[in-house]
Chain A
Amino acid sequence: MNQLPTNTIYPVHNFVGDMVRHHFPAAAGYANGFLTLVSLLLFVALLPVLLIWLERKVCAHFQARLGPMRVGYHGLLQSTADGLKLLFKEVLMPKGADKFVFFLAPILPASASFLVMTILPFDHHLQVADPAGGVIYILGISGLSVLGILLAGWASNNKYSLLGAMRSGAQMISFEISLALIMLLIVMVTGTASLREIVLSQQGTVLDWWIFKLPVLGLVAFMMYMISSTAEINRGPFDISEAESELTGGFATEYSGISFAMFFFAEFVNMFVSAGIATTFFLGGFLAPQIGIGAIDAAFNFIPGFIWFFCKTFLVIFLYMWFRWTFPRVRVDQLMYLEWKMLLPANIALLMVAGFFLAMGWTL
């Protein structure tokens, strides 16, 4: 089961990094750090633009519509235009709002998603950092976005915002438990908490990905991960914290302009991050899918790993969108029932059965 290479090298060794190291050996540490941050910032800034466009198109086609068609080819520039509009809009603050907290709140979810992005393994040598406790880091950092939403609801001085934030807090804290238990399952079967090594533990054919490697249990765990991460990123059918028809937008009611844009962008980056984690844990991360036929495997291996990573991630993102535009929103009590009475017992049972499987050596 363990095919880890003995020399686990520090990940930041790619073409650009090595070039900088070669030409400016003295300043390489700072220059490379700066370059990583800039490239990640650019990525985080541009990704939601693409994802929002994708969301609108996918949603439209699920509903027998066309979606944005006018700005650019098939509306490609529509979300850019919307983002620019939001940048230039006035930022309003309601009377009696807590000014500092009100403007602090949108920064937290955005920075949380950015921080988790730093440890996602995009490719063999395309990962900003690979802490040994990467899974724990993810769990810790994603708590920041709950904090941001709670603060936003509290600081807005608006009952709808507060209600949405409280619902959201309850939801995210509940579902974090089952998310953590599923991550624990993966940590248990791989024997490591570093994301890079979790990916490397899935080397081999497609059947060595964790979704298939544990017979049946992997698939069950993947489905449970999809349910709890959909709730964790506040998307439909679990979008009770925004619930336009009940709460006029929930915690984001009083936000406008760039503050609103940060919430909105963070939501989409969070979706990408969740999909990326699903890819890393269950779908073999940046590894090319190998089906055991020599020629096809060689062709697939020729395609760089980050392309595979993005393909798999966007597949999971499509699943999220499919869920959102198919299922009706659940009530608050149904949501709590789902977590505490359905998912949590199933999680604990899954963990025990997986432990039994491991002990008996029943892996593919």
Chain B
Amino acid sequence: MMETRRDGYKNIVLHSSGHYLRKVATGLISLFSGMGVTVRYFINPSRIITQQYPENRASLQMMDRFRGHVMMIHDENDQHRCTGCGICEKACPNGTISVLTTKDLTGRKVLGRYIYRLSQCSLCNLCTESCPFGAIAMARDFELAEYDRQLLTFVLNKTQGGI
């Protein structure tokens, strides 16, 4: 009887001390691996992502996925791919875009003026997502403030017509 009880106590002590030591060991390993992660950031100044903005205006590179204002993509001959279909105008939740069409010499409906009102735009990207021809894109400019509201309405296409 005494012998079994003593064995029971022994087992309890062994079990709990093993649990304790395992807990300490795993805890320390995870803490040290966490410290390793942070110190790698600390000793690698090249991984710093902060931009010293007004000072580095000349060399500042915006990220690829940054969404500035809407722009129309033009090739070297100032030709764009817009057909004037108006899907972007329908996709826009704010009424930012007005696609004004006209007719060319053969009587085909082509783009006349692509009106874009930055003052109403929420830069949501729905127009470029919906464009079937890839004619418009979001620019990477971000210094867009003006003193006059009129200056925030643009005509995006450089030439009439298109493909």
Contact = CB atoms under 8 A, between A and B. Distances in A.
Contacts of B39: 62, 322
A327 B39 CA distance: 12
A61 B42 contact: yes
Interface stretch (A63-71, A76-84, A86-94, A101-109): A63-71
B35 A326 contact: yes
Given A326-B34, A326-B35, A64 B41 contact: yes
A58 B31 CA distance: 19
Q: Looking at chain B's contact residues, is the secondary structure mostly helix, strand, loop, or mixed? A: helix
A327 B34 contact: yes
Interface string B117-161: 000000000000000000000000000000000000000000000
B20 A342 contact: yes
A345 B41 CA distance: 36
A325 interface: yes
Contacts of B38: 62, 322, 325-326
B2 interface: no
Contact of B35 (A60, A69, A322, A346): A322
Contacts, number: 41
Contact of A66 (B20, B34, B35, B48): B48
Contacts of A66: 48, 50, 52
Interface in B29-82: 31, 34-35, 37-39, 41-42, 45, 47-50, 52
Interface string A247-291: 000000000000000000000000000000000000000000000
Interface of A: 58, 60-66, 69, 322-323, 325-327, 342, 345-346
28 contacts: A60-B50, A61-B41, A61-B42, A61-B45, A61-B48, A62-B42, A63-B41, A64-B48, A64-B49, A65-B48, A65-B49, A65-B50, A69-B52, A322-B38, A322-B39, A322-B42, A323-B35, A325-B38, A326-B31, A326-B34, A326-B35, A326-B37, A326-B38, A327-B31, A327-B34, A342-B20, A342-B23, A342-B24
Interface of B: 20, 23-24, 31, 34-35, 37-39, 41-42, 45, 47-50, 52
